[in-house]
Amino acid sequence: MPASQPRSRARDRNNVLNRAEFLSLNQPLKGNQESRSSSRKQSSQAGAAGPQNSNPKERRQSQQLPEEDCMQLNPSFKGIAFNSLLAIDICMSKRLGVCANTASSWGGARSMINLLGITGHGIPWIAGTLICLVKSSTLAGQEVLMNLLLALLLDIMIVAGLQKLAKRKGPYDVNPGLLDYLTMDTYAFPAGHASRVAMLSKFFLNHLVLAIPLRILLVLWALCVGFSRVMIGRHHITDVLSGFVFGYLQFRLVELIWMSSNTCQMLISIW
């Protein structure tokens, strides 16, 4: 036994892991253990005290984050394509808004572009249709004018309803005019002027006998009025294009519910 003790001591001295610089590998320092244990206790106490001190409203808000605050790590291909097209639409609409304000590149032509837009507004067309209806003395003319009035009223109601549902704002912060408020044309999608001129041009091409130059001028007028709304910063390009589509659909709807001459005469007599 006495001989084995010096041998074990010599063996411990020769062991490299028993040196001072390697002690931390085998046995961590007590201070580190105490600091780690104290930090764990503090974090556990803070975690236990947190839910007790926080209000139930704050806990519900932290648990239910809105979708816009969450990052979508794996978006779908449709989502990527839609967001890309939307970004292109906004960028191109802002570039084409050359008359959005007086400081724009074409700011001096803003009044002329606004005047062009008034030619496609609903209030002047409704007023003009009523005046022509009062002065008309033929049954065929009254029939066409009554159905035109019906188409204009449907256009205002349909566009106002769609804009209230979409609530899309224009590319620029441009306030609607007085006539826009009267026809409830306060949002961007779809463009009310574009739907109206598309419906009117299709209506006149079908029910009026016009020469070819007048037909070409009518189509050009509809296109100019529609894209003038992009130039003044009130609508995006997709708003105008969708307005053209809705205008054509409104024309088809009026053709389906076309009022006969007897119905028109009955309504005129009541009025």
Q: Quick: pLDDT tens for 63-115.
A: 554 444 444 555 687 778 888 888 898 899 888 888 888 787 888 888 898 89
- The verdict on residue 174 lying in a domain is yes
Cα dist from 264 to 7, 150, 171, 254, whole Å = 124, 11, 42, 14
Question: Which of 51-65, 88-102, 171-185, 245-259 is the least confident region?
Answer: 51-65
Over 50: is that where the pLDDT of 14 sits? Answer: yes
Assigned token pair, 61: 């808000």
Catalytic residues: 193, 235
Buried residues in 219-231 as b, exposed as e (16+ CB within 10 A): eebbebbbbbbbb
- The verdict on residue 66 lying in a domain is no
- The verdict on residue 187 lying in a domain is yes
* Number of folded domains that form the chain: 1
User: What pLDDT is attached to residue 126?
Assistant: 94
What mean pLDDT, rounded, does the chain reach?
Answer: 79
Over 50: is that where the pLDDT of 48 sits? Answer: no
Cα dihedral: 227, 232, 235, 236 (round 10): 70
- The verdict on residue 232 lying in a domain is yes
- The verdict on residue 204 lying in a domain is yes
- The verdict on residue 242 lying in a domain is yes
Longest alpha-carbon distance in the chain:
138
Higher pLDDT, 210 or 174: 210
- The verdict on residue 45 lying in a domain is no
User: What pLDDT is attached to residue 173?
Assistant: 79
Question: Mean pLDDT throughout 182-199?
Answer: 90
Helix or strand or coil: residue 98? coil
User: Of the candidates 8, 31, 10, 29, which has an alpha carbon nearest to the alpha carbon of residue 20?
Assistant: 29
Look-up of token digits 């802002």 = 94
Task: Give per-residue pLDDT as tens, 102-133.
Answer: 787 888 888 898 899 899 999 999 999 999 99
Question: Mean pLDDT throughout 137-141?
Answer: 89
Assigned token pair, 25: 């590998």
Confidence of residue 258 (pLDDT cuts 50, 70, 90): very high
Question: Which of 59-68, 126-135, 260-269 is the least confident region?
Answer: 59-68
Task: Give per-residue pLDDT as tens, 228-242.
Answer: 999 998 899 999 999
CA 207 to CA 250: how far, in whole Å?
15
Q: Which domain holds residue 263?
A: 107-270
User: What pLDDT is attached to residue 65?
Assistant: 47
- The verdict on residue 143 lying in a domain is yes
Higher pLDDT, 233 or 14: 233
SS3 content of the chain, % helix, strand, coil (to 5): 75, 0, 25
Higher pLDDT, 223 or 179: 223
Over 60: is that where the pLDDT of 15 sits? Answer: no
